[in-house]
């Protein structure tokens, strides 16, 4: 590909080995499923480990709604926070970077370095905002495929992802059957139920009805912070389990006196959610949030005929789908249905259910059982 190149590269060697942080610029036109076109796009991505000579040891990790390309390691010794899947990715870890070359890119439409609504439209010199096309899960995967082309990788050894990342992993196996050896999809769904759509819809309503929304034309540093924060607080509840919350907070009150005003925070869980909401506003773009939740809501592998196995007709990848007992956002049953439909379609698929208490976010939490499962699955690669 002559029209793709690296525009920047930094790296840092830490506990997980070298974290390589790149910007990949694809200067070819990119066509969205909707017919919209971008003249060019950039994906920010990280790599860990080394691509071997036969270029057949690459694993692509796809991130969830609020995730990004930084899935492991740190950028400096002062970095308190590691990447979001640090316990899973690194030398000797389940996704073993001594053996695999691991790639994780910020999704197209994202706000962490990949081209998205906050990027500058070369035609106008202004940020795209709402003129940026709404990406589907398929579009995200198509953009990633350009990066994989650029890296000279014909076939990925595995595509891995949880939640929205799991949707991408499945879409990879569907759209690029010759380029995916195996798929590991965690805490995901072939399509969301109405409850999950409803929560996303309320999150979007909170942003769109915020007076600071201004049809997406808010000034830099301004914007629908309240709406985005409320959307995130609410969504955060759906990522956790009732039992997990009760273990974490045991209904503790921070303050309890009669002088307390109703505007003060009373319960620990309330304080925790406020913090989550405020922190999110500092790192996430409201338009990307709306776009990604729309991509989730529209994702539907059942298709027009409502027959899930038809989606998997061309899949060749060996597939493991993992559901989590306490996940009520994308419940075990929805994960199980994916594997069952693949089996009905005659594919090499299996389903595992992990008994973890942390709700939808269980896939992000360190667990010996989950680690062993992933480790064993990748051993066969």
Instruction: Give whichever of 136 and 144 is closer to a second copy, judged by the CB atom.
Output: 136
Contact between 158 and a second copy per CB under 8 A: no
Whether 244 and 326 have beta carbons less than 8 Å apart is answered as: yes
Q: Which residues contact 165 (CB under 8 A, 6 or more apart)?
A: 61, 62, 63, 64, 67, 186, 188
Write out the binding residues for a second copy, residues 212-241 only, by CB under 8 A. Answer: 212, 215, 226-227, 229-230, 233-234, 237, 240
Q: Which residues contact 317 (CB under 8 A, 6 or more apart)?
A: 159, 172, 173, 177, 180, 181, 182, 183, 348
Contact between 338 and a second copy per CB under 8 A: no
Q: Distance between CA 119 and CA 362 in Å, rounded?
A: 33
Which residue in the list 66, 114, 136, 163 is annotated as catalytic?
163
Instruction: Give whichever of 191 and 337 is closer to a second copy, judged by the CB atom.
Output: 191
Whether 337 and 307 have beta carbons less than 8 Å apart is answered as: no
Q: What are the backbone dihedrals phi and psi of residue 78, each rounded to the nearest 5 degrees, phi first?
A: -85, -10
Contact between 34 and a second copy per CB under 8 A: yes
27, 266, 309, 353: which one binds a second copy (CB under 8 A): 266
Instruction: Give whichever of 97 and 192 is closer to a second copy, judged by the CB atom.
Output: 192
Q: Distance between CA 159 and CA 83 in Å, rounded?
A: 18
- Kindly state the smallest distance separating residue 241's Cβ from a second copy, in Å: 8
Whether 135 and 295 have beta carbons less than 8 Å apart is answered as: yes
Instruction: Give whichever of 46 and 225 is closer to a second copy, judged by the CB atom.
Output: 225
Residue 333 CA: distances (Å) to CA of 137, 189, 191, 218, 352: 21, 9, 12, 41, 11
Contact between 172 and a second copy per CB under 8 A: no
The answer to whether 360 is a known catalytic residue is yes
Burial class (CB in 10 A: 0-12, 13-18, 19+), 292: buried
The answer to whether 163 is a known catalytic residue is yes
Contact between 201 and a second copy per CB under 8 A: yes
Write out the binding residues for a second copy, residues 296-335 only, by CB under 8 A. Answer: 297, 300, 328
Q: Distance between CA 135 and CA 307 in Å, rounded?
A: 24
Query: By CB under 8 A, which span of 45-53, 289-297, 309-317, 350-358 interacts with a second copy?
Result: 289-297
- Kindly state the smallest distance separating residue 308's Cβ from a second copy, in Å: 14
Q: Which DSSP state fits 179?
A: G
Residue numbers annotated as active site: 163, 327, 360
Kindly list the residues in this chain that would bind a second copy in the complex (CB under 8 A): 34-35, 130, 134, 191, 193-195, 197-199, 201-202, 204-206, 208-212, 215, 226-227, 229-230, 233-234, 237, 240, 242, 245-246, 248-251, 258, 261-263, 266-267, 269-270, 273-274, 277, 290-291, 294, 297, 300, 328
């Amino acid at each position: 590909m002559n029209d793709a190149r690296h525009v920047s590269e930094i790296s840092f060697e830490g506990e997980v080995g070298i974290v390589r942080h790149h910007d990949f610029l694809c200067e070819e036109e990119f066509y969205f499923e909707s017919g919209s076109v971008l003249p060019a796009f950039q994906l920010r991505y990280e790599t860990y480990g080394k691509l071997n000579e036969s270029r057949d040891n690459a694993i692509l990790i796809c991130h969830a709604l609020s995730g990004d390309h930084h899935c492991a390691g740190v950028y400096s010794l002062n970095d308190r926070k590691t990447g979001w899947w640090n316990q899973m990715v690194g030398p000797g870890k389940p996704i073993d970077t001594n053996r695999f070359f691991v790639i994780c890119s910020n999704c197209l439409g994202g706000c962490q370095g990949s081209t998205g609504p906050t990027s500058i439209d070369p035609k106008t010199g202004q940020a795209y905002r709402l003129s940026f096309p709404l990406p589907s899960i398929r579009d995200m995967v198509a953009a990633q495929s350009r990066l994989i082309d650029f890296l000279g990788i014909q076939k990925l050894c595995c595509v891995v992802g949880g939640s929205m990342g799991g949707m991408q992993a499945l879409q990879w196996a569907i759209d690029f059957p010759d380029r995916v050896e195996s798929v590991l999809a965690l805490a995901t769904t072939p399509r969301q139920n109405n409850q999950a759509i409803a929560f996303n819809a309320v999150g979007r309503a909170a942003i769109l009805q915020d007076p600071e929304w201004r049809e997406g034309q808010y000034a830099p540093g301004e914007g629908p912070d309240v709406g985005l924060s409320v959307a995130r607080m609410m969504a955060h509840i759906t990522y956790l389990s009732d039992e997990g919350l009760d273990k974490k907070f045991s209904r503790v009150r921070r303050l309890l006196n009669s002088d307390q005003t109703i505007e003060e925070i009373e319960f620990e869980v309330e304080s925790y959610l406020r913090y989550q909401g405020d922190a999110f506003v500092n790192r996430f773009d409201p338009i990307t949030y709306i776009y990604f939740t729309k991509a989730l809501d529209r994702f539907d592998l059942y298709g027009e005929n409502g027959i899930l196995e038809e989606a998997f007709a061309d899949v060749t990848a060996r597939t493991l789908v993992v559901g989590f007992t306490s996940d009520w956002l994308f419940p075990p049953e929805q994960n199980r249905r994916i594997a069952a439909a693949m089996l009905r379609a005659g594919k090499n698929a299996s389903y595992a259910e992990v008994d973890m208490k942390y709700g939808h976010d269980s896939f992000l939490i360190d667990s010996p059982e989950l680690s062993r499962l992933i480790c064993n699955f990748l051993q066969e690669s």
